[in-house]
Amino acid sequence: MANGYPWQQGLWQQLARRPQHAHAYLLHGPSGTGKRDFASALADFLLCQKPLGDQPCGVCRGCLLLAAGTHPDRFELKPAEDRASVGVDQVRELVHFVGQTAQLAGRKLVLIAQPPVEEMTLQAANALLKSLEEPAGATIMLLLSDQPSRVLPTVRSRCVQQAMPLPTAQQAADYLQAVLPELAAEQRGELLQLAAGSPLRAQQLAAQGVLEQRALVVEGVKKLLKQQAQPTQLAEGWKDVPLLLLFDWFSQWAQLLLRYHLTGDADALGSADMHKVLQYLADKSSTPAVLHMQDWLLEQRQKLLGKAPLNRVLLLEALLLQWARLPGSG
């Protein structure tokens, strides 16, 4: 794959050299590891009329139409402009596309990548099943998933499931050094840790100013536990920090507390910026209290993923009040 990611080269060669393809692939793996770029490149390669080995030729009619963004046999399923997830109406457009004859007398490609397929509404996923089971003509469908366990079993069973390769720690570090040379190695390492080792996600976090946001939140948590700041004050001060990101961090911290309660391993308390805080909380809190906190965090996080209309300030106040009570539960 030209200009692809090093960790994907083996899978690219495997799929690009395959003489026959399944009618549907479910490409799955963590967010931020390059699945979408891989799938988009594979779609373009499969629509090339005169591929050169495992690369598209770049000069055939199909490649020229792809470069112009006007290939009639390539369809990307996307939500309506005012929606976060794909609905039935968009799937009906896909069904119509699949039912047509390829205009260039070759393959037709369907890409379901952004948002990932698990974000599709239940009605839309069910409407997709017929096309997945019996696509018309030489149609290949590429579905992407960050969390395949959330994909309907009826959708998963109709696809060849392909786990996407993940970068090694060195590959991730090398990639981030190449795209963010202005950052110190320590900062790049912190970004990778926050991104769970996903280099593209780490790059995105850097662009969003997450290192600064993280420092603000960590400092706020310390002040909360020292009774130097009130929940309302912190909730309002964190207005620019994405709510889902906050719940990801607090869920991770609660998980680390539980792990410490089970193992007593202080070295496994996560990144350095919160290590002493978590050590203090772990020693002062009870396992039932942390379990209750974790259940609540996961419940609220699920509501956030479901786009529930939550009051941001009240939600954060509730979170911080519970967090502040942890030291007295031990």
pLDDT digits 0-9 by tens, 50-80: 999 999 999 999 999 999 999 999 999 998 8
| Average pLDDT score over residue span 244-260 | 93
Look at residue 330 and tell me whether its pLDDT is greater than 80.
Answer: no
Q: Are strands 160-163 and 24-28 parallel, antiparallel or unpaired?
A: parallel
pLDDT at 82: 74
- What confidence tier does 307 reach under pLDDT thresholds 50, 70, 90? confident
Average pLDDT over residues 164-174: 95
Task: Check pLDDT > 90 for residue 137.
Answer: no
**Residue 128: what pLDDT?**
92
pLDDT at 269: 83
Percentage of the chain beyond pLDDT 90 is: 78
Higher per-residue pLDDT: 166 or 1: 166
Q: What pLDDT does residue 229 have?
A: 93
pLDDT value for 58: 94
Residue 319 parent element (H or E): helix 312-325
The pLDDT mean for the chain works out to 91
Confidence of residue 85 (pLDDT cuts 50, 70, 90): confident
Q: How far apart are CA 286 and CA 125, in angstroms?
A: 42
For the cut 90, the answer to whether the pLDDT of residue 321 exceeds it is yes
CA dihedral 309, 314, 320, 324 (to 10 degrees): -140
303: confidence class by pLDDT, cuts 50, 70, 90: confident
Please work out, in degrees rounded to the nearest 5, the angle formed at the alpha carbon of residue 153 by the alpha carbons of 137 and 75.
Answer: 35
Mean pLDDT value of segment 314-325: 94
Residue 113 in contact with residue 79, Cβ under 8 Å?
Answer: no
pLDDT value, residue 304: 87
Angle formed by the axes of helices 312-325 and 243-263, nearest 10°: 20
> Can you point out the beta strands (E) in the chain?
24-28, 74-76, 108-112, 139-145, 160-163
Q: In sequence order, which residues have a C-beta less than 8 Å from that of residue 293 and are 6 or more positions away?
A: 254, 322, 323, 326
pTM of the model: 0.81
Higher pLDDT, 230 or 85: 230
Residue 172's pLDDT is what? Answer: 95
What are the boundaries of each domain within the chain? 6-166, 208-328
The yes-or-no verdict on residue 81 having pLDDT over 90 is no
Q: 194: which 2 tokens?
A: 């926050």
Please give the structure tokens belonging to residue 282: 């772990």
Q: What is the mean pLDDT of residues 43-51?
A: 95
Q: What is the DSSP string of 230-290?
A: -HHHHHHHTTTS-HHHHHHHHHHHHHHHHHHHHH--GGGS--HHHHHHHHHHHHHS-HHHH
pLDDT at residue 1 tops 60: no
What is the Cα 177 distance to its own chain's centre? 21
Question: What's the length of the chain?
Answer: 330
In SS3 terms, 93-127 reads as HHHHHHHCCCCCCCCEEEEECCCCHHHCCHHHHHH
Q: Give per-residue pLDDT as tens, 9-19.
A: 999 999 999 98
How high is the pLDDT of residue 182? Answer: 95
| Band of residue 3 on the pLDDT scale cut at 50, 70, 90 | low
Tell me yes or no: is domain 6-166 CATH 3.20.20.140: no
Beta bridge partner(s), residue 75: 110
